[in-house]
């Protein structure tokens, strides 16, 4: 079984990959978006710059975006692994990655207003551990920047202003409103993680977990799959475009999940992920070998 120092090193590799190598499905979506925009338009120019940036970051193994975000990680582990050890190892990995400029020193103590300098602070990184029956460890990491985090939104239904009732049509209305409100601020074209149900905290966590799904991943629940495809189409009709310059591509993907709710509450939580959708997935075998996941 894994020792803490070797696991820390593996986690640094996962962080390096997330921060510097944009997943191929996202690169492909950006290319398609670029080809759709008019020659000479601000939108096309912005997408060209993004694609060039992705190449530079990939070649140099340097951060795609200087805001390396909040590291949000979900770890599945076999029985008998200490979750305290996993949290310690991952936190240490964040500090090492920060020292290597794979991450920016990105944690501020709000009481003293001091940057901690090493990337860690209470609640940063956020590590979710869950036991499973397999022998390997699975790590799924998302680096979520502050600009896109700031435009996330949570609605309570019914919402009279939006004409949103407690049903999927109500969810649709909230999501479109959130995209409109975000404009280009979250670094469009973005990817939307949505959760309906849950409480205020769990709803946002689930909406972020949805962002781990590759863009081509289809929702196994037919009505949600249909809603995801429809919202992708409709959000792109808003005309906000890359960086809010106007254009045909405002959103690259919509991913929807749900959680149980109380009779009194019906939350719709929308997490906006920037085009620099920095996610990485890895399986770590009991021998310590890494297999990269989509």
Cα–Cα distance for residue pair 81/125, rounded to 1 Å: 19
Name the segment binding other proteins (CB under 8 A); options: 31-39, 52-60, 199-207, 254-262: 52-60
Which of residues 78, 158, 214, 246 is near other proteins by CB under 8 A?
Answer: 246
Pairing of β 190-196 and β 251-258:
parallel
CA torsion angle 12 91 23 154 (round to 10)? -170
Name the segment binding other proteins (CB under 8 A); options: 8-16, 101-109, 133-141, 215-223: 101-109
Name the segment binding other proteins (CB under 8 A); options: 107-115, 130-138, 199-207, 282-290: 107-115
Which of residues 72, 153, 251, 276 is near other proteins by CB under 8 A?
Answer: 276
List b or e across 226-250, with b for residues whose CB sees 16 or more CB atoms inside 10 angstroms. Answer: ebbeebbebbbeeebbbbbbebbbb
Q: Angle CA(255)–CA(127)–CA(146) in degrees, nearest 5?
A: 60
Nearest to 7 by CA among 70, 96, 71: 96
Name the segment binding other proteins (CB under 8 A); options: 5-13, 71-79, 168-176, 204-212: 168-176
- The residues, ordered by sequence, that sit 6+ positions from 226 with a Cβ below 8 Å of its Cβ are none
Token duo for residue 277: 């959708």
Cα–Cα distance for residue pair 255/207, rounded to 1 Å: 8
Mutual angle of helices 42-60 and 24-36, in 10-degree steps: 150
Which of residues 67, 92, 206, 228 is near other proteins by CB under 8 A?
Answer: 67
CB of 203 to other proteins, least distance (A): 22
Complex with other proteins: residue 99 or 129, whichever CB lies closer: 99
CB of 179 to other proteins, least distance (A): 8
Token duo for residue 216: 């081509």
Interface positions, 185-244, toward other proteins (CB under 8 A): 185, 187, 230, 234, 237-241, 243-244
Give me the 111-150 binding string for other proteins, x by CB under 8 A, dash otherwise.
Answer: --xxx-x---------------------------xxx--x
Helices (H), the chain: 4-20, 24-36, 42-60, 83-99, 146-150, 168-182, 200-209, 222-235
Angstrom CA distances, 258 to 18, 152, 210, 224, 229, stand at: 26, 17, 10, 10, 17
CB of 103 to other proteins, least distance (A): 8
Q: Does 64 bind other proteins (CB under 8 A)?
A: yes
CB of 176 to other proteins, least distance (A): 6
Give me the residues that bind other proteins (CB under 8 A), please.
42, 45-46, 49-50, 52-53, 56-57, 60, 62-68, 101, 103-106, 108, 113-115, 117, 145-147, 150, 162-163, 169, 172-173, 176-177, 180, 183-185, 187, 230, 234, 237-241, 243-246, 274-276
């Amino acid at each position: 079984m894994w020792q803490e120092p070797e696991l820390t090193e593996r986690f640094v590799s996962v962080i390096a990959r997330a921060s510097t190598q944009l997943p191929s499905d996202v690169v492909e979506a950006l290319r398609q978006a670029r080809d759709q925009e008019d020659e000479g338009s601000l939108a096309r120019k912005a997408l060209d710059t993004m694609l060039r940036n992705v190449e530079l970051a990939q070649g140099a193994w340097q951060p795609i975006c200087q805001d390396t975000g909040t590291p949000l990680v979900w770890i599945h582990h076999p029985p008998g692994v200490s979750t305290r050890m996993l949290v310690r190892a991952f936190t240490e990995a964040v500090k090492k990655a920060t020292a290597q400029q794979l991450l920016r020193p990105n944690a501020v103590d709000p009481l003293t207003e001091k940057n901690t300098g090493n990337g860690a602070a209470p609640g940063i990184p956020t590590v979710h551990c869950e036991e499973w029956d397999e022998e390997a460890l699975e790590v799924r990491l998302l680096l979520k920047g502050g600009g896109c985090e700031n435009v996330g939104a949570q609605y309570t239904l019914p919402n009279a202003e939006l004409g949103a009732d407690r049903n999927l049509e109500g969810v649709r209305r909230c999501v479109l409103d959130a995209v409109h409100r975000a404009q280009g601020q979250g670094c469009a074209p973005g990817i939307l993680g949505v959760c309906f149900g849950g409480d205020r905290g769990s709803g946002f966590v689930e909406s972020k977990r949805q962002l781990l799904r590759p863009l081509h991943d289809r929702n196994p629940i037919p009505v949600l799959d249909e809603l995801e495809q429809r919202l992708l189409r409709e959000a792109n009709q808003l005309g906000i475009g890359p960086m809010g310059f106007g254009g045909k591509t405002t959103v690259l993907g919509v991913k929807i999940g749900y959680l149980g709710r109380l009779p009194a509450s019906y939350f719709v939580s929308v997490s906006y992920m920037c085009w620099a959708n920095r996610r990485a997935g890895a399986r770590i075998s009991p021998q310590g070998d890494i297999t990269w996941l989509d």
